[in-house]
Structures are given as structure tokens and as C-alpha cells.
């Protein structure tokens, strides 16, 4: 996938902007608060129909402007298409167009321009709690595997119902009769979730380790280890076997669930552990190492999307160069040779020998 050009009017701090891009690396350079991240946000908006820094569309419209208009010409699955979005200050909803045809929902734009974004908040994936890591797996898998998305949605609904039954068991004891049925369906959908996550993580780990090794000059080995319900001996085993083991765990925890009035059994607590040279990253990784691994994960996610769909997503890297030593900076700037990449940075002296440098000052292209 390649974004040929981007045109903006009244978006964030851009009054008007028009720029053609390189099909390889595009380095967006400028001082703080000039509009570098805003450019990535515009690309993301056209890709997903939603902004990544805000839920409030009005914030995307330039102060004092009536509307914001974004449009891009992209090469996608062998076709040239135009994506366009118009947001209004005084009325809703925003309008989306694909090659001139008006679309009613953002799902209609799905898959036209696929992007993988790294922003500084993504470092939390490796530092914070399990929920962030589960989200990373779920977001990728929901896009790639419709069956997984369906199973996950059903599992979440069952979990909410079972949790409510356990929580209110004193006021409404009749609800407890539904628990065997919830358990049965949670084991069925749970087994799909566990086996799909395990297989995806195994592939992700392999690709991320290769990127991380190249990135760190061969000095660091990244490993990712899936952690799920304790009775599951092999999460990549056939769904039926995992289902049996999930049932077993439910049975052994049924008393504890009643006592704690909480749902304790199932893959909603899944996690994966990331380690560098066998040391858990959460406790021991340095800033640069954390950043290196987080970017390697994004590169791996991009590879797997390509393996599945045949198209390499556009990579958007916001503020990745800080905290990296010259060798690792060189990796980002010059050695991600596949597909189209956008990199924002503040330093004027950074150069890439395989693409284009775009200088931004106060929402204008220099
Ligand atoms: P840094 O290097 O610090 O990350 P940046 O170049 O990425 O900076 P952006 O986040 O792209 O900076 O741009 C921020 C600027 O855009 C801010 O100064 C902000 O006030 C301005 N801005 C954001 N939204 C709007 C808007 N709706 N109208 C006008 N200006 C806006
Ligand atoms: Mg920024």
C-alpha cells in the first residue's frame, strides 16, 4: 500500500497542505508543535475513519474554520483510489468518500488504506498491565480473522452476564442457575480465542525477534511467551482439547468464584511476557530497549498483515528516534526497506538515503 499524496484544508494547524510522498521512507522534520504528528493523524483518519488522539472530531478542525477537508490518493490492491473526508464545525455527521462515491460508515473504507501506527503511548504495551497486551493481540486478530472477532464479542458478552450473576448472587440467587450455560459457551468461545491468540503470538514472536535482533545489532534476543489459563497445557492444540481443559479449570474454580463473587476462569486474564536475553522486560528493560522492542512488534504486526492479505500496511512512526543510539536510529531511518514509512522527528540533521525529507513549520510545508 502506498499513499501517493495528501491534501489538507483546515485540518488541525494546517490551513492548506499539499504534498506528494515517496513510496519508501518519508521523514517529517520540524521543531516541536509545528504539525508533524498532526500529519500522521490526518493519514490515520483517512485510514480508519477515526482520529487516534481524540474522540472529539471538532478538535480536528482548525480553530475558526468552518470545515476540515482531508484527501489522499492511494495505491491499494493494485488499484488507485481516492479517500476523502469532510468534517463540519457546525453540523454532523462528517462525510466520507471513496473514489468520489459517498460512503455512510467508516467500515465502508476498511481495508482501502491500512496503517500500522507507533506512537509513544505504545511503549506502555511492554511496561503496563496485561490489558494493553491483550488489546494488541485482539486488535490485530479482529481485523484478520472474522471468526475470532465473533468469538471474542460473544465471550465478552457472556463474561459480563456471568460476572453480574456472581456479583448479585445474594439479591438474585435465581441467576446462578444460568451459570452452567454461561460456562459451556465461555469454554467453547474461549477455546477459539486461546488457540487463535497462541498461533498468532507464535508467528508474531518469530518475526519480532528477527526485527529486534537486526535493530540491536544482534546483541539482544526478544522472546514473547503466551500466558493463559493454567490447565491449558498446549494452547496451540486442537480447539476440542483446549475446550476440555478450560472446562476442567472452570470446575476446579467454581467454589472460589462463588466465594469471591467474581469470574476467575477463562482467557479474559490472558497475557504474554516479553523478555530480552531472558530478562522480563517489565522489570529490567531500558528505555531504548523498550522502544526497540515496541517498534519490532509493530514491524512484525505489519509483516503478518502482509502474509495474510498480500498488502504491506503503511507504517507511521511518531517520535521514535529519541532515546535511540545512533546505530538504532540508523536502523529506523535506513534499514526498514520494505513498503512505505512515515517517520516524524525534531532533529534537522537526520537524513535518510532512501526517501524524502518533508520540512514542516507552523502547519506549512517548507
Ligand atoms: P512535537 O515535536 O512536540 O511532537 P508536533 O510537530 O508533532 O510537535 P503537533 O502535535 O503535530 O506537533 O501539532 C501541535 C500543534 O497544533 C499545537 O501547537 C496545537 O496548538 C496545534 N493545533 C492542534 N489542533 C489544532 C486546531 N484544531 N486548530 C489549530 N491548531 C491546532
Ligand atoms: Mg508530535
Domain at 150, CATH number: 1.20.1050.90
Closest approach atom of ligand 1 to CA 360: 6
To the nearest 10°, the Cα dihedral for 84, 87, 88, 89? Answer: -150
- Give the binding-site residues of ligand 1, using a 6 Å CB cut-off: 12-13, 30, 32-38, 59, 61-63, 319, 344, 346
Inside any domain, residue 142? yes
Lowest mean pLDDT among 50-54, 166-170, 229-233: 50-54
State the pairing for strand pair 2-11/67-76: antiparallel
Ligand 1 centroid, distance to 191 Cα (angstroms): 45
Q: So what's the pLDDT on residue 284?
A: 96
Closest Cα to atom 28 of ligand 1: 62
Q: What is the pLDDT of residue 188?
A: 98
Kindly state whether residues 101 and 8 are assigned to the same domain.
Answer: yes
Nearest-atom index, ligand 1, CA of 40: 11
Report which protein residue has its CA nearest ligand 1's atom 21: 13
Q: Is the pLDDT of residue 353 over 80?
A: no
Q: Are residues 269 and 172 in the same domain?
A: yes
- Angle (CA) 355-361-366 rounded to 5° is 55
- Do 251 and 342 have their domain in common? no
Verify that 82 and 133 share a domain, yes or no.
no
pLDDT at 52 over 90: no
CA of 363 to the centre of ligand 1 (A): 8
Distance 37 CA to ligand 1 centre (A): 7
φ, ψ for residue 22, nearest 5 deg: -80, 150
pTM of the predicted structure, to 2 decimals: 0.92
Q: What confidence tens digit (pLDDT) does each residue in 285-333 have?
A: 999 999 999 999 999 999 999 999 999 999 999 999 988 999 999 999 8
* Domain shared by 200 and 64, yes or no: no
220 CB contacts (<8 Å, ≥6 apart)?
Answer: 212, 213, 276, 277, 289, 292
Q: Are 256 and 108 part of one and the same domain?
A: no
Tell how far the Cα of 40 is from the centroid of ligand 2, in angstroms. 9
Q: Please tell me whether residues 248 and 128 are part of one structural domain.
A: yes
- Residue 249 — very low, low, confident or very high, per pLDDT cuts 50/70/90? very high
| Residue of 8, 38, 58 to test ligand 1 pocket, by largest number of atoms within 8 Å of CB | 38
Do residues 173 and 274 both lie within one domain? yes
Locate 201 and state its grid cell: 503470538
Same domain, 175 and 261: yes
* Nearest atom (ligand 1) to Cα of 30: 6
Instruction: Compute the chain's Rg from CA coordinates.
Output: 23
**What is the predicted pLDDT for the residue at 337?**
81
Residue nearest to atom 4 of ligand 1 (CA): 32
What's residue 55's pLDDT? 85
Residue 231 reports pLDDT greater than 90: yes
Q: Are residues 173 and 200 in the same domain?
A: yes
Q: Are 316 and 116 in contact (CB under 8 A)?
A: yes
Query: What's the mean per-residue pLDDT of the chain?
Result: 95
What is the dihedral sign for C-alpha 197, 202, 206, 212? positive
Mean pLDDT of 177-187: 97
Distance, in Å, from the CA atom of 99 to the CA atom of 217, rounded to the nearest integer, reads 44
137 and 97 within one domain: no
For atom 30 of ligand 1, the residue with the nearest CA is: 13
Q: Which of 269, 284, 299 is the last residue of a domain?
A: 284
Residue 324 Cα to ligand 2 midpoint, Å, equals: 17
pLDDT of residue 349: 74
In the reported structure, the alpha carbon of residue 319 is separated from the centroid of ligand 1 by a whole-number distance in angstroms of 14
Number of domains in the chain: 2
Which numbered atom of ligand 1 lies nearest the CA of 319? 4
Q: Which residues of 104-142 are buried (b: 16+ CB within 10 A; e: fewer)?
A: eeeeebeebbbbbbbbeebbebbeeeeebbbebbbebbe
Q: Structural domain of residue 233, as residue ranges? A: 124-204+217-284
**Better-predicted residue by pLDDT, 270 or 348:** 270
**Residue after which a domain boundary falls, among 245, 265, 284:** 284
Query: CA-to-CA distance for 166 and 199, rounded, in angstroms?
Result: 32
CATH number at residue 36: 3.40.50.300
Neighbours of ion ligand 2 (CB under 5 A): 36-37
Alpha-carbon distance values, 111 to 44, 98, 124, 148, 166 (Å) = 12, 12, 27, 18, 40
- Which residue's CA is the closest to the ligand 1 atom numbered 10? 37
User: Which residue's alpha carbon is at the smallest distance from atom 2 of ligand 1?
Assistant: 32
Mean pLDDT of 203-220: 97
Give Cα separations from 18 to 4, 8, 15, 159, 315 (angstroms): 11, 6, 10, 48, 20
Provide the sign of the torsion angle of the four alpha carbons 70, 72, 77, 78, taken in this order. Answer: positive
Residue 119 in any domain: the answer is no
Is 211 inside a domain boundary?
Answer: no
Residue 41: which of 50, 32, 30, 29 has the closest Cα?
50
Domain annotation covers residue 48 = yes
Give the model confidence (pLDDT) of 120-151 as tens digits.
Answer: 889 989 988 999 999 999 999 998 899 999 99
> Atom 15 (ligand 1): residue with closest C-alpha?
33
User: Average pLDDT for residues 34-60, to the nearest whole number?
Assistant: 93
Question: What pLDDT does residue 173 have?
Answer: 92
Taking residues 30-37, report their average pLDDT.
Answer: 96
Measured by CA distance, the residue closest to atom 23 of ligand 1 is 12
Write the residue with the smallest CA distance to atom 3 of ligand 1: 32
Judged by its nearest atom, the ligand closest to the C-alpha of residue 12 is: 1
User: Of 240, 266, 284, which closes a domain?
Assistant: 284
Ligand 2 centroid – CA 341 distance (Å): 16
Mean pLDDT of 257-275: 97
Query: Ligand 1 test: best mutation among 33, 39, 42, 43, most atoms within 8 Å of CB?
Result: 33
Residue 53 has what pLDDT? 85
Amino acid at each position: 500500500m502506498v499513499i501517493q499524496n495528501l491534501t489538507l484544508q483546515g485540518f488541525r494547524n494546517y490551513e492548506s497542505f499539499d504534498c506528494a510522498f515517496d513510496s519508501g521512507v518519508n521523514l517529517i522534520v520540524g521543531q516541536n508543535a509545528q504539525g508533524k504528528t498532526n500529519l500522521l493523524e490526518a493519514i490515520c483518519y483517512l485510514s480508519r475513519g477515526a482520529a487516534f488522539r481524540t474522540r472529539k472530531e471538532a478538535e480536528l478542525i482548525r480553530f475558526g474554520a468552518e470545515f476540515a477537508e482531508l484527501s489522499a490518493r492511494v495505491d491499494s490492491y493494485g488499484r488507485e483510489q481516492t479517500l476523502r473526508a469532510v468534517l463540519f464545525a457546525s453540523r454532523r455527521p462528517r462525510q466520507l468518500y471513496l473514489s468520489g462515491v459517498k460512503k455512510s460508515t467508516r467500515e465502508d473504507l476498511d481495508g482501502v488504506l491500512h496503517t500500522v501506527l507507533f506512537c509513544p503511548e505504545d511503549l506502555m504495551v511492554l511496561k503496563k498491565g496485561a490489558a494493553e497486551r491483550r488489546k494488541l493481540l485482539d486488535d490485530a486478530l479482529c481485523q484478520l480473522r472474522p471468526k475470532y472477532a465473533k468469538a471474542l464479542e460473544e465471550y465478552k458478552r457472556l463474561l459480563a452476564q456471568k460476572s453480574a450473576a456472581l456479583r448479585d448472587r445474594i439479591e438474585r440467587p435465581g441467576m446462578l442457575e444460568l451459570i452452567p450455560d454461561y460456562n459451556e459457551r465461555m469454554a467453547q468461545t474461549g477455546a477459539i480465542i486461546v488457540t487463535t491468540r497462541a498461533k498468532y503470538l507464535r508467528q508474531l514472536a518469530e518475526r519480532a525477534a528477527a526485527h529486534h535482533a537486526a535493530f540491536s545489532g544482534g546483541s539482544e534476543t526478544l522472546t514473547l511467551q503466551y500466558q493463559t489459563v493454567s490447565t491449558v497445557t498446549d494452547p496451540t492444540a486442537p480447539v476440542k482439547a483446549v475446550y476440555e481443559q478450560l472446562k476442567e479449570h472452570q470446575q476446579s474454580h467454581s467454589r472460589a468464584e462463588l466465594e469471591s463473587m467474581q469470574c476467575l476462569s477463562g482467557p479474559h486474564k490472558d497475557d504474554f511476557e516479553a523478555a530480552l536475553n531472558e530478562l522480563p522486560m517489565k522489570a529490567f528493560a531500558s528505555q531504548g530497549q523498550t522502544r526497540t522492542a515496541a517498534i519490532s512488534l509493530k514491524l512484525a504486526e505489519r509483516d503478518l498483515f502482509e502474509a495474510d492479505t498480500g498488502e504491506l500496511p503503511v507504517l507511521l512512526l511518531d517520535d521514535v528516534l529519541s532515546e535511540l543510539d545512533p546505530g538504532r536510529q540508523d536502523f529506523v531511518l535506513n534499514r526498514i526497506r520494505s513498503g512505505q514509512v512515515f517517520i516524524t522527528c525534531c532533529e534537522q540533521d537526520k537524513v535518510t538515503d532512501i526517501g524524502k525529507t518533508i520540512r514542516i513549520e507552523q502547519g506549512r510545508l517548507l
